[in-house]
């Protein structure tokens, strides 16, 4: 690989790290070409070498967010069915400082996604992927007799995700009232209610 390519790749990595720092501090509302340049200690011109405008920057930021979400440490389920469903729910919640930071950034991305048709469609696809994972655990729980055989996996997955995201928002806005232990208790209560 040529030195020029290596320099370009290293610089792009630096830009991506600066984008992440801006997101972590200010969310998508504070994500601008100037803010990224400031985080790098560079000129706005350098940043515009990588992003022609705000939309390209936002798309890149969403890619970074999705990649970091995929790579972050996660709990693993001891068994299929309800234990797996529980772990899926806990992995979404802001149970650690890193999880809270990640969720703050995701919540701040909703406004951006709602105002751009392509980003809206991409966000719909993300949620469908999450519901598909939940449905798989729900199907296993039905097969194992942990949930009623007649339970509708599509409806249950939508309910689980709605409950979990509602809890995310409450925990972000009122962390004193919703510390990790309380969030976990609420998940366990929700799952217990599903089995009744």
Question: From first to last of its 196 residues, what are the pLDDT tens digits of the chain?
Answer: 444 555 777 888 899 899 999 998 999 999 999 999 999 999 999 899 888 888 999 999 999 899 999 999 999 999 999 999 999 999 999 999 999 999 999 999 999 999 999 999 999 999 999 999 999 999 999 999 999 999 999 999 999 999 999 999 999 999 999 999 999 999 999 999 999 8
Q: According to the model, what pLDDT value does residue 4 have?
A: 58
Output the six-digit token pair for 113. Answer: 């996604």
- The CATH class for the domain spanning 3-69 reads mainly alpha
Kindly list the domain boundaries of the chain, sorted by start residue: 3-69, 75-195
Sign of CA dihedral 75, 81, 83, 86: positive
Contact 65, 23 (CB under 8 A): yes
Distance CA(35)–CA(26), nearest Å, equals 10
Distance CA(121)–CA(132), nearest Å, equals 16
Distance CA(70)–CA(76), nearest Å, equals 14
Q: What is the CATH number of domain 75-195?
A: 1.10.357.10
Sign of CA dihedral 187, 136, 61, 110: negative
Distance CA(18)–CA(78), nearest Å, equals 37
Contact 50, 12 (CB under 8 A): yes
Output the six-digit token pair for 79. Answer: 């068994």
For helices 97-114 and 54-71, the axis angle rounded to 10 degrees is 140
């Amino acid at each position: 690989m040529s030195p020029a390519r290596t320099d370009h790749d290293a610089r792009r990595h630096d830009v991506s790290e600066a984008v992440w720092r801006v997101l972590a501090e200010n969310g998508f509302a504070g994500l601008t070409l100037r803010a990224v340049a400031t985080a790098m200690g560079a000129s706005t011109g350098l940043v515009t070498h990588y992003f022609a405008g705000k939309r390209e920057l936002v798309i890149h930021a969403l890619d970074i967010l999705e990649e970091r979400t995929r790579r972050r440490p996660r709990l693993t389920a001891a068994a299929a069915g309800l234990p797996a469903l529980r772990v899926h729910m806990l992995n979404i919640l802001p149970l650690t400082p890193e999880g809270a930071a990640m969720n703050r950034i995701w919540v701040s991305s909703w406004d951006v996604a709602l105002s751009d048709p392509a980003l809206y469609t991409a966000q719909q696809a993300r949620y469908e992927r999450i519901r598909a994972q939940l449905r798989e655990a729900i199907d296993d729980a039905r097969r194992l007799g942990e949930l009623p055989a007649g339970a509708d996996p599509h409806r249950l997955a939508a309910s689980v995700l709605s409950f979990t995201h509602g809890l995310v928002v409450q925990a972000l806005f009122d962390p004193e009232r919703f510390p990790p232990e309380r969030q976990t208790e609420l998940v366990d209560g929700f799952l217990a209610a599903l089995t009744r």
